[in-house]
Amino acid sequence: MAYKYVLYEASEHIATITLNKPEKLNAFQWLGRGEDAAEVWNAFQQAADDDDVKCIIVKGSGRAFTVGHDLSKVGFLYGFGTEKTDRRPSQRIRLKYDKMGMDDNMMNVFLNPKITISQLHGWCIGGGIYFPLLTDLALASEDAQMGLTEQRLGFSGSGVLGITHLIYHVGMKRALELLLTGKIITGKEAAEIGLVNRAVPADQLDEETWKLAKAMTLLPRDGIAIGKATRHLIYDRMGLIFDFIPGYISHTLFTNLRWEEDEYNFFKQRRDMGSAKDAFKERDRRYEGLI
């Protein structure tokens, strides 16, 4: 299968999926029908369908794993700014696209029948944090920059996939701190709190991830499949499968948020400044000296 935004390689029973938009720090349209994100989900499915593959590594090209959602396109998915009418996008359109992104696609990664590993370097923020929550294992470079910075758009601990997953990984208080502040932590700190399995020097990340993946390929195919199916049952009892449902519903609720005059509105700032980059810099500037 040919991809435009993803590099796909399979050898030695390992499939490597590389997010490949380095000029945009691997910002993808993770919600709805983003052409770039669709390639990521298709690549995971391609690996799932290949009986020779036992383990999947997902990584990023260039200076980042991924900076999450492409903020230059956020909102337009539902129809913001694309119509000559003042009518707001319908609830059914918002729910449709949010469910496709958070529920259908990302749950398929979580339940992929192969062993999955996230390899995290550089920026790993916003939607980038989903991957260490979704994959079986995760390694990060010690200097990786990780955080749920999209929470500063106004989510305030909502509208994100895997809040339950995050709480299971790092505990309730740490999860709430990451969600409510949008703070950035290093890969080393992420390992210390349990967000990733291990942090290694940046120049060793490729080698250490490959070694871990090779160890996973020593397991038998049927054993891997049975193990994943068993954990599917366990995760369901833990509430981790159900967690995908409130994720997309609360995201849709957020898209209806009303900002008061003294509150920061990213969409207004993006419109007035003419640049998503300037708008999110202004968003983060307000936190200087506080977090």
In order along its 291 residues, the chain shows pLDDT tens digits of 789 999 999 999 999 999 999 999 999 988 666 789 999 999 999 999 999 999 999 999 999 999 998 877 665 556 555 444 455 678 887 788 777 766 678 888 999 999 999 999 999 999 899 999 999 999 999 999 999 998 998 888 887 777 899 999 999 999 999 999 999 999 999 999 999 999 999 999 999 999 999 999 999 999 999 999 999 999 999 999 888 888 778 878 887 888 899 999 887 888 889 888 888 789 999 999 998
Q: Is 7 helix (H, G, I), strand (E, B) or coil?
A: strand
pLDDT at 12: 98
pLDDT at 83: 47
40 - beta bridge partners? none
- Helical H segments across the chain, by residue range: 35-49, 91-98, 106-110, 130-134, 163-170, 172-181, 187-193, 205-216, 221-238, 244-254, 266-273, 276-285
Cα–Cα dist 144/165, whole Å: 21
Q: Is 265 helix (H, G, I), strand (E, B) or coil?
A: coil
Residue found by looking up tokens 């593959």 in the block: 53
User: Where do the domains of the chain lie, and which CATH numbers do they carry?
Assistant: 6-257 (3.90.226.10), 262-291 (no CATH)
Measure Cα distances from 37 to 30, 120, 205 in Å: 5, 18, 24
Question: Are 205 and 139 within 8 A, CB to CB?
Answer: yes
pLDDT at 142: 98
pLDDT at 84: 45
DSSP letter, residue 100: I
Question: Are 101 and 248 within 8 A, CB to CB?
Answer: yes
Q: Which helix (H) or strand (E) holds 6?
A: strand 6-11
State pTM to two decimals: 0.89
* Amino acid sitting at position 137: L
pLDDT at 229: 97
For residue 41, give the nearest of 94, 109, 89, 97 by alpha carbon: 109
Measure Cα distances from 154 to 4, 51, 60, 127, 255 in Å: 33, 43, 27, 15, 10
Neighbours of 242 (CB within 10 A): 12
